Structure formats: structure tokens, C-alpha cells
Structure 1
Amino acid sequence: MMERVEVSHEMIALVGAGSVGDRAWPAGAIAIDYAFGGPGAAPTFRYHARPDRRALDADAAARLILIVCPAACRRIFGRLPAGDGGAYHMPAPIRTIALALRDCALPIAMRDTYRLAKSIELLCETFGLLVERPGELVPMIGEGQLSQADSQRIMAARRLIDEHWSEKLTLDGIARACGLNRTKLTRGFREMFDSTVADALAEQRLGEARRMLMATDLPVSSIGYRCGYLNNASFTRAFARRFGVAPTQYRACGVAA
């Protein structure tokens, strides 16, 4: 059974291998599960909005779990993280704190106080990412088949699309800019964002084109060019596939309404 550290009446930490046990948790608790990895497996952490004891017990490897009252998290951090159950690569600063907590070799009288303090520090650092800086989180892709570095490169590719969608972007150009080969970018992008690179780019361009059709008097061909389409025919085809009508018809219906 995992060792239990009583941090406060609102928080406990579970350390080591084995079952989480059946002792009471804080009411309506949330959980953060830290797995330290091993050969072929990267260190990860996972946020559980509704932790299930049986699910947590499914992993018997040595790990660390923080169990916290959600009211305390809202009081301290302002809100709870979005989402539930997503696994992320464990950043080095968080891993350092977690390992220090797990591997503390101080005498028992000192160890409890040390682990209590480290548990609070770990919770604060983790919530800083989950709540304040979620863009820094690197999701696990394909059961860890992509490294943390490659996952970060795929996230950089998404930022490139979101920020430079109006420029002449190609799959090969995006891959080169982000330090990936074409195959790894294509596979990883689909797994991370449930979208192809081309679809993500089109979504940005066509969304802006739709806005410009309603908000400006610019000719349709000029809007298509500004949104990254080299000619009016390709813009019209793409717009009609996405919205079901040609740009001119979309504008006419909007004006009529």
C-alpha cells in the first residue's frame, strides 16, 4: 500500500508503490498522479477531476499522488484546471520536487515536515502550469511514442499556423521551421490536435475570410488573396467546401439578412 502523508485536513499525499488504500479522502477530492517513468517510458503527470480508486490502483508502479479538496484549490488558485484525465510530460522543475518528496531519506521526525512542505510546493508548481500557464504543458502523444522535445515541436507548428496563417505556409516549410520531418509532423499533429496540418491552416484562413466578407467591402478576390489563397478559384472551392456556399453567396445572404 502507498505511504500516506497527512498534509492537512484538505490535502494528503500518497507515496510509493501499491494500492491507494481505502482510508477517507477530502470531500469531493481532485487528484494529480505523478508517474516517474522508466526504460522506454517518459515521466508524466495526470490531473483527475473525479479520481477513481480502482483506476489509480491499476498502476502499481512507484509513484506519487496528491489528493486535494477542490474548495482549497479554488481558494488558493482561483479556479480548478480545465479538462480531466489528460497526461502530460512532467517538466524538469516539477520532477525535481516530486523526486525529492518521494526519495526523502531524512529521519522520521524531520521527514514528515519535509514531505509536507514539498507536497505543498509540488501542488503550487503543478497548478501554476495547469491553471496559469497551460500553453506550456506538453501532452503525451501515442502512449509516449513521441518524445517531449518532438511534442514541443508539434506545439510550435500549431503556434506557427495560428500566428502566420496568412503567409505562404507549406507542410515541408512548417516541418523545417519546427525541426521535424514531414512524417513525424503529420502523424503527431493529427494525434495531438485531431486535425491535419492542412485543415488547421484552412480553418484559420477561412474563418478570417468569413469575417472579412461580412465586415468589409473588399472584393472577394482580394479577401481570398489576403487570407493566403493564390487565386480566386482555389479560395472559392475551399470556402464552399467549408461553409456550403460560395463567398459571393455568403456575403449576399449576410447583407440580405
Structure 2
Amino acid sequence: MTKQCIEVSPEMRSYVGAGLPLPPAPRDWLLFAFDGLAEAPARVAIVSNAADDGMAGAALVFAVDPAACGRLTGERPVGTGRWYLPTDLRSVALAITDCALPEPARATLRLAKSIELLLALLTRAVAGELVAADSAGELLEGDAMRILAARRMIDENWREKLTLDEIARSCGVNRAKLTRGFRAMFRCSVADALAENRLTRARHMLRETDLAVSSIGYACGYQNNASFTRAFSRRFGMPPSQLRQVAA
């Protein structure tokens, strides 16, 4: 199969079509290789071009200058690894690989869609909205995305009195799958993730504000000072009042 190279810009090339080695690109560029597009789950691997680990077999590959990625992400780093490709982004990738338009319209569409896909992928990658294919283990793509939604819910709403059943119901997954999947993906329990958010914020408030210890505990989701003190002491090795004295 002929591999078409689309010169998107001086800092990006889009290679469409599997079966042939990639044309040369600078060794320090990043490769975005998309596979499994024909049937879910689709994945994207981001590697250094210098790694040279068999990306040529993918049906769609972007070669991008890391400096361009930096400008597009506000200099937030783009990690290397392998992630599930969300369904909406898979559709954009398929629009590139399966385009039936004649030339030169096909090359023009592929150029525009390559930019669209790269921008959307970088945005979600730096926002932590992609599910790592390795961390998901035996979870199906849909369940992995629901577990990721549960993590976002915890990180954004940790001040509230969240329960396991409420989180599971909000994210469309049953309690048992949430419990197992969360530990598989994040190496901690739902309760651990909630506590880490609350206690990290409490430590910051103890150092940066003059609020009473009991007020800080309540603001961080603890209903009484005793439970706050116990949890804080287990996490940081000293009660909150002592940490405040040390930080003073």
C-alpha cells in the first residue's frame, strides 16, 4: 500500500497508509502512531522518533517537532506512552485514513483533519483525559473512560460528601467495577484518592492561612475535628496543630 506523506507544516508531517517504512523525519521529533482504527478499541502511541520501535505498520502516523507541541500545549509536556483513542477522535482519524475524495481535495482534507486531530489529542493528553492502555488492564475502553470520569469527579468535588455509590451512579458503572477498576488504574482506592485531595489541601491551608484547625478540617470535608486530626496524623506523621507550629 502506498503511504502518502502530507506536509502539514515545516513542523509536522502526516503519513497515511500502512505497509511501508516511514520517510525520514528528524530524530528528535515525536511520532503519534494510530492503530486499531478499523475496530475498537483504537489506540495511539506517542514515542520519540529516535526510539525506532516499529511504528511504520500503523495506518496513520504524525511526525511532529516537540517545539510545536510545546507551543500548542502552553509548554506543558506531552508524555510518551500508549493510550486509548476516544471514539470521537477515532472518527477524525478514520476521516483521514478512509477519505474517498479525489486529489487534490483528499490531500487538503487530510491536512485539515490532521491538524484537528493533533490539537484535540494534545489538549486531552495534557489535561489527563486519556486512558493509558497499559493501566486499564482488562477493562474495556468504555469502562476505563468511566473510571477516569470518576477520578475527575473526585479531583474536582472532593470538598463534597461523596459516597462510593454516588460516584458509581454518576459515572455509569457499578460499585464493584468502580472499586476494582479504580485500584487497577490509579493504584489506590476511591477513599484514598478523596483523602489525598482533602489532606493535601488542608496542609496548604495550615501553612498559608490563619484559620482555626477545626475550620480547615470542616472546609476540607471532615465533619469533626477528631476525624480530621486522625486522618492528618496518619498521612503526615504529625497532627495539624503541630505542623502549623513547625511551619510558623
TM-score by length of 1: 0.77
Is 1:182–2:155 an aligned residue pair? no
Is 1:138–2:139 an aligned residue pair? no
Tell whether the 8 Å contact from 1:4 to 1:12 is kept in structure 2 after alignment: no
- Separation in structure 2 between the aligned mates of residue 51 and residue 10 of structure 1, nearest angstrom: 16
- Separation in structure 1 between the aligned mates of residue 16 and residue 28 of structure 2, nearest angstrom: 21
User: Structure 1 residues 195-204 or 76-85, which shifts more?
Assistant: 76-85
**Which residue is 2:108 aligned to?**
117
Q: Deviations over 1:174-197 (max 9, x none)?
A: 212222112221232233333321
1:159-238 pair list within 5 angstroms: 159-238=152-231
How many residues in Structure 1 have an aligned counterpart in Structure 2?
Answer: 245
Query: Could you tell me how far 1:63 is from its partner in structure 2?
Result: 1.9
Q: Deviations over 1:44-70 (max 9, x none)?
A: 22322445333325xx4x621122344
Distance 1:2 1:233, change over 3 A: farther
**Which residue is 1:67 aligned to?**
63
Q: Provide the alpha-carbon RMSD of the alignment.
A: 3.2
Distance 1:205 1:33, change over 3 A: same
Distance 1:145 1:122, change over 3 A: farther
- Separation in structure 1 between the aligned mates of residue 21 and residue 191 of structure 2, nearest angstrom: 45
Structure 2 counterpart SS, 1:86: strand
Q: Deviations over 1:126-178 (max 9, x none)?
A: 23224445448431445674344333322322232223212222222221222
Structure 1 counterpart SS, 2:173: coil
Tell whether the 8 Å contact from 1:35 to 1:64 is kept in structure 2 after alignment: yes
Structure 2 unaligned residues grouped into runs of 5+: none
Structure 2 counterpart SS, 1:195: coil
- Separation in structure 1 between the aligned mates of residue 154 and residue 175 of structure 2, nearest angstrom: 15
Percent identical among aligned pairs is 45
- Separation in structure 1 between the aligned mates of residue 201 and residue 50 of structure 2, nearest angstrom: 41
AA partner of residue 166 (structure 1) = R
Structure 1 counterpart SS, 2:32: strand
Query: Could you tell me how far 1:27 is from its partner in structure 2?
Result: 5.2
**Which residue is 2:96 aligned to?**
101
Query: Could you tell me how far 1:207 is from its partner in structure 2?
Result: 1.7
Query: Could you tell me how far 1:235 is from its partner in structure 2?
Result: 1.6
- Separation in structure 2 between the aligned mates of residue 210 and residue 180 of structure 1, nearest angstrom: 32
**Which residue is 2:14 aligned to?**
13
**Which residue is 2:55 aligned to?**
56
**Which residue is 2:29 aligned to?**
29
- Separation in structure 2 between the aligned mates of residue 149 and residue 52 of structure 1, nearest angstrom: 30
AA partner of residue 131 (structure 2) = P
Distance 1:24 1:237, change over 3 A: same
Distance 1:70 1:115, change over 3 A: farther
Structure 1 counterpart SS, 2:94: helix
**Which residue is 1:44 aligned to?**
43
Tell whether the 8 Å contact from 2:69 to 2:122 is kept in structure 1 after alignment: no
Query: Could you tell me how far 1:72 is from its partner in structure 2?
Result: 5.3
Tell whether the 8 Å contact from 2:136 to 2:184 is kept in structure 1 after alignment: no
Query: Could you tell me how far 1:206 is from its partner in structure 2?
Result: 0.8
- Separation in structure 2 between the aligned mates of residue 116 and residue 179 of structure 1, nearest angstrom: 40
Query: Could you tell me how far 1:42 is from its partner in structure 2?
Result: 0.5
AA partner of residue 48 (structure 1) = V
- Separation in structure 1 between the aligned mates of residue 153 and residue 44 of structure 2, nearest angstrom: 27
